[in-house]
Amino acid sequence: MDDQGCPRCKTTKYRNPSLKLLVNVCGHSLCETCVEALFVKGSGICPECGTALRKNNFRVQLFEDPFIEKEIEVRRKILKDYNKKEEDFKTLEEYNDYIEMIETLIFNIVNNIDVDETRQMIEQYKRENKDQINKGRNKKSKDEEYLECLIEQEKEESSLKRKFIVEEEQREKDSKKKHKEALLDELMFSDRSALDILNEHKTDIDKENELRVPVMATTKFSTGIKLMGKYLRHIRSASDEEKGGGFESKLACMRALLDAVNGLFYLPDQV
Amino acid sequence: MKLNIDGLLVYFPYDYIYPEQYMYMLELKKSLDAKGHCALEMPSGTGKTISLLSLIVAYMKANPLEVTKLIYCSRTVPELEKVVAELKNLMDYYEQQLGKGKPKILGLALSSRKNLCINPEVSQERDGKNVDALCHKLTASFVRTNHKRDATVPVCSFYESYDAHGKEMPLPEGVYGLDELQEYGRKKGFCPYFLARHAITHANIVVYSYYYLLDPKIAEVVSKELSKNAVVVFDEAHNIDNVCIESMSIKITRRTLDKCQQNIDGLSKQIQRLKDCDAERLKTEYQKLVQGLRDANIARETDVILANPVLPDDVLKEAVPGNIRTAEHFLGFMKRFLEYMKIRLRVQHVVSESPPSFLKDCYQKVCIERKPLRFCAERLNSMMRTLELVEIHDFSALSLLCHFATLVSTYAKGFVLIIEPFDDRTPTISNPILHFSCMDASIAIKPVFDRFQTVVITSGTLSPLEMYPRILDFRPVTMATFTMTLARTCICPMVVSKGNDQVAMTSKYETREDVAVIRNYGNLLVEFCSIVPDGIVCFFTSYIYMESTVAAWYEQGILDQVQKHKLLFIETQDAAETSLALLNYQKACENGRGAVLLSVARGKVSEGIDFDHHFGRAVIMFGIPYVYTQSKILKARLEYLRDQYQIRENDFLTFDAMRHAAQCVGRALRGKTDYGIMVFADKRFARADKRSKIPRWIQEYLKDGLCNLSVDEAVQVSKRFLRQMAQPFSREDQLGLSLLTVEQLDQEDTKKKLQSRMQYV
């Protein structure tokens, strides 16, 4: 990283740690001072390639390789127009051909191969597919949605967890305090020997700790359906023989309800 | 002797059997019958290996359709050799008993090329990776095609002749260790490595390292075609969860990325060259990728060097995405990803992130979607093949990056990305590292549990047993722990909790720098040096703690006192230095001078080096070997364990510390004629939660009276113990108690007695 430097004044990051490299559309970098010096008027040409540039188009170079910076700039622009998603195609092959075509366009522009022709092609595509472009602009691909859903889930879980931990700590503190007080009280007023009381309390606490089984995380498979009385009205009540086998009318009701709604939760590509 | 184990005739190659071996076989048979998994703990030195082998071989003989194969996984090459030796012993016994009627069994060991290669040039190489690379250079399919065209291109004659004749000629039955394989290879002129790899598909018993099953990169290549009704044994499995996690985790440093940059530059030059001279080849590759024909069918066995990490099947069947189909596009793609990784590594503070948010950020910054990332490893593989690159070893950095890309986009859960700008110990030096860490040990081992009908997890120290099914996420049909039946009490565990001045001894963080504590630890060592004959092994909790303690001892003059009695050796982080120290330690013990070895729990010495008999008469554990709890990766894993498996942080930490402590002290006793003192020098060991996690065979002898000793008392107890142990001891003393004959085994009351030696969990 240290050998990164301004091609014009040859300052490097090593010599000037506060060096700030800027980059413009042509993909050549310049340091901040050079930009100030060269583009006093607000516009000028790139000292490397001679492209006409505007000063306010300069932005901080994010990547080490200015070439990548340029490529991503181009890519963003093109992807804005070529915004079809996998779902818009009938077959996977068509989609694959489509994204390969985009890739070729970007490659050509960035590497200065038939730039004019490519640009013309893009213009033509833009004209022909205006509606499609506008429609697809704000649409997210399935993949993105999936990721976002995951991130959302994560956030939710972590906030729940935090709450849970705080509660747990509080409860533990309270119970400790309670036990201590109870023990002191008993020691003060009881006639039994101190050792007995101590032992008894110890076993009490142990028992309580054992009883407190960690709460299992609720499964995501729960439908969340609450069995209300009105559902049960439509179900034949279980006969005595059936009840003997552990069967209840609630079970059948639940199963019917699940059958009715479980299709809603089916997302084929999230399996 | 011939045994009747629950109706199964088992040939056991020794005249006597330990009671616990008999019980072990009973339990093992139960789980084989149930076709389920099991976890069994039996002390080291009681003959686990032979019990396992003789029972499973007998079972295979009796039910040839139920169990067709035994896969025995162990950790190191010497351990593999030991297993093979036991197997030979068993087969000799079969031969002697049954003559021609002995079962036809092919058993073989498989190890890396480094241990098997017989090519005179390649086998000169010392480093395993270099051997692999050289082998690939001589045996890759394109090299061999070139050789057909142009005879000056060198190939490996052993592989050629194996390829020509070896495949039709199966290995004759018998037991082949690494040496036998090499010998056979030399005799026939075949390459032993590929011979063995081919033979494991039809061998009855395969002995190899954990990694051939657990590491998805290797397992894909080696263990793909093993049949379902096989029994898998993981021996010395107390660390198996860490092995699983390691095999799925990736570490990327700034240097890796720099190397990737070089790799990419190199590749683009290669592509340019190929375009100029032989553009046809790139086109064929492209066509293949377009059609979605996976390389699977054309991949020859020698080519699979960079196998992909576990991918769901549906992805593998799908075609490579269009935007990385051509070579230039793929390189551009990798460049972008590399630049993205570079900016990610440019951090000022620690970042911890989940794979989904990493992917999202990646899409926003460099427009890389999830799908092409998943195909990275496959795509690189195909490209390397097309370019006919011989020096694959040079491209390890790039393939690591591709593996990372594939893993991060495949697994949304169970992984975490942690980026640390500097090492915790050197906060001023910028040294960014990206850890892509697996937190769920069950991910790597799940395919194994799902695929094979019986998986046996066994070790000398598996306590607490109930933890393993939880962290590995499987349901065992039997879980049992066996204790050692001893004719005399030959272990003497004790918890020393205070010095003579009544200051508590503990390696607790707050008091570990305390002069009094360090002095007491020193006194303990000096006292033991003066009474214990031969070797003493001491374990510290970490290298740093050992260094500071030894420095303090030096100043206090304790080291001088120790050296009056014994020579002093220290384990260091350098492997070569340590093995030299170990060698001299053994020399000192051999010639009666006696020696002290200071080493570290979790270090090389604590795993896999035995201190039997006079090499270790006493083991002193200074403090509880907790893992470094401030590490971000550990914290993430603890959190994950709590959320997913309801395992509390403290439970896991204690479990982990105690299994390492048990592993350390267990080094001293490797057999029933052996004896040793085990000193737990920390007052916290006496607490119920720690004490209950010590293996049962040690816990049995750790009486209440031995749990809160001062140094003086400990010395008294040890003196008495050593005097007792110094009495002559012969096999006759053991007979009937800890060593049984067939007749004794058949008696009813022995069986009853045996039951008490075992405990289900």
pTM of the model: 0.82
Q: Which among B319, B367, B643 is the nearest to A92, CB-wise?
A: B319
Evaluate the omega torsion of the peptide bond into residue B356 and state whether it is cis, within 30 degrees of 0: no
User: What pLDDT is recorded for position B306?
Assistant: 36
User: What pLDDT is recorded for position B592?
Assistant: 87
The C-alpha atoms of residue B296 and residue A14 are separated, in whole angstroms, by 49
User: What pLDDT is recorded for position B231?
Assistant: 92
Which residues in chain A have Cβ-Cβ distances shorter than 8 Å to B342?
A: 63-64
Q: What is the pLDDT of residues B59-99, one digit of tens each?
A: 999 988 888 899 999 988 888 999 999 999 999 999 999 88
DSSP 3-state assignment of B705?
helix
pLDDT higher than threshold 90 for residue B715 = yes
Q: Is residue B34 less than 8 Å (CB to CB) from chain A?
A: no
Lowest average pLDDT, out of A101-115, B208-222, B426-440, B469-483, goes to B208-222
Q: Which among B335, B356, B367 is the nearest to A150, CB-wise?
A: B356
**Sheet containing B69-74: order of strands:** B174-176, B106-109, B205-209, B69-74, B230-234, B454-459, B37-41, B476-482, B758-760
Lowest average pLDDT, out of A233-247, B60-74, B367-381, goes to A233-247
The C-alpha atoms of residue B595 and residue B566 are separated, in whole angstroms, by 5
Q: Which among B325, B339, B370 is the nearest to A64, CB-wise?
A: B339
Which of A59, A76, A99, A172 is the best mutation test for B, with the most CBs of B within 10 A? A99
Q: What is the pLDDT of residues B129-171, one digit of tens each?
A: 888 888 888 888 888 888 888 888 888 889 888 888 887 888 8
What residues contact residue B143 under an 8 Å CB cut-off, 6+ apart? Answer: B137, B153, B155, B388, B390
Distances, alpha carbon A118 to alpha carbons A102, A127, B758, in Å: 11, 14, 78
Which residues in chain B have Cβ-Cβ distances shorter than 8 Å to A65?
A: 335, 339
Spatial contact of B658 and B463, defined as CB atoms under 8 Å apart: yes
SS3 for B329-354 is: HHHHHHHHHHHHHHHHHCCCCCEEEC
Averaged pLDDT, B362-390: 85
Which residues in chain B have Cβ-Cβ distances shorter than 8 Å to A144?
A: 360, 363
pLDDT higher than threshold 50 for residue B646 = yes
Residue with tokens 């799940």: B446
Lowest average pLDDT, out of A115-124, B295-304, B371-380, B534-543, goes to B295-304
- Residue with the bigger pLDDT between B596 and A245: it is B596
User: What pLDDT is recorded for position B146?
Assistant: 85
DSSP character at residue B11: E
What stretch of H or E contains B285?
A: helix B254-291
Q: What is the pLDDT of residues B691-713, one digit of tens each?
A: 989 998 899 899 989 999 999 99
Instruction: Quote the tokens at residue B455.
Output: 């998986």
Which residues in chain B have Cβ-Cβ distances shorter than 8 Å to A60?
A: none
B351-353 and B174-176 beta bridge pairing: unpaired
Q: Which among A68, A76, A217 is the nearest to B643, CB-wise?
A: A217
User: What pLDDT is recorded for position B298?
Assistant: 44
- Phi then psi for residue B570, to 5 deg, are -130, 135
User: What pLDDT is recorded for position B296?
Assistant: 47
The answer to whether A63 contacts B339, with C-beta atoms less than 8 Å apart, is yes
Which residues in chain B have Cβ-Cβ distances shorter than 8 Å to A217?
A: 643-644, 646
The C-alpha atoms of residue A23 and residue A46 are separated, in whole angstroms, by 10
Q: What is the pLDDT of residues A28-67, one digit of tens each?
A: 888 888 888 888 888 888 888 888 888 888 888 888 888 8
Q: What is the pLDDT of residues B272-310, one digit of tens each?
A: 888 888 788 888 878 777 765 454 444 434 444 333 445
Q: Please name the residue of chain B whose CA is at the shortest distance from the CA of residue A150.
A: B356
pLDDT higher than threshold 50 for residue B637 = yes
The C-alpha atoms of residue B358 and residue B344 are separated, in whole angstroms, by 10
Q: Please name the residue of chain B whose CA is at the shortest distance from the CA of residue A215.
A: B646
The C-alpha atoms of residue B521 and residue B710 are separated, in whole angstroms, by 11
Q: Which amino acid would we find at residue B491?
A: I
Q: What region does B88 belong to: left with phi over 0, alpha with psi -120 to 50, or beta?
A: alpha
Q: Which amino acid would we find at residue B170?
A: P
Which residues in chain A have Cβ-Cβ distances shorter than 8 Å to B360?
A: 144, 147-148, 151
Averaged pLDDT, A190-206: 82
User: What pLDDT is recorded for position A269?
Assistant: 63
Among B287-291, B346-350, B749-753, the range of highest mean pLDDT: B346-350
Sequence-ordered alpha helix ranges (H) in B14-67 = 19-34, 48-62
The C-alpha atoms of residue B471 and residue B647 are separated, in whole angstroms, by 9
- Name the average pLDDT for chain B: 87
Give this complex's ipTM: 0.75
CB pairs under 8 A between A and B: 88
Closest CA to B545 of B537, B555, B535, B553: B553
User: What pLDDT is recorded for position B92?
Assistant: 92
Interface of chain A toward chain B, CB-CB under 8 angstroms: 1, 62-65, 68, 71-72, 75-76, 79, 92-93, 95-104, 107, 141, 143-144, 147-148, 150-151, 154, 157, 161, 214-217
Q: What region does B367 belong to: left with phi over 0, alpha with psi -120 to 50, or beta?
A: left
**Percentage of chain B lying above the pLDDT 70 cut:** 96
- Phi then psi for residue B676, to 5 deg, are -170, 155
Lowest average pLDDT, out of A203-212, B225-234, B308-317, B594-603, goes to B308-317
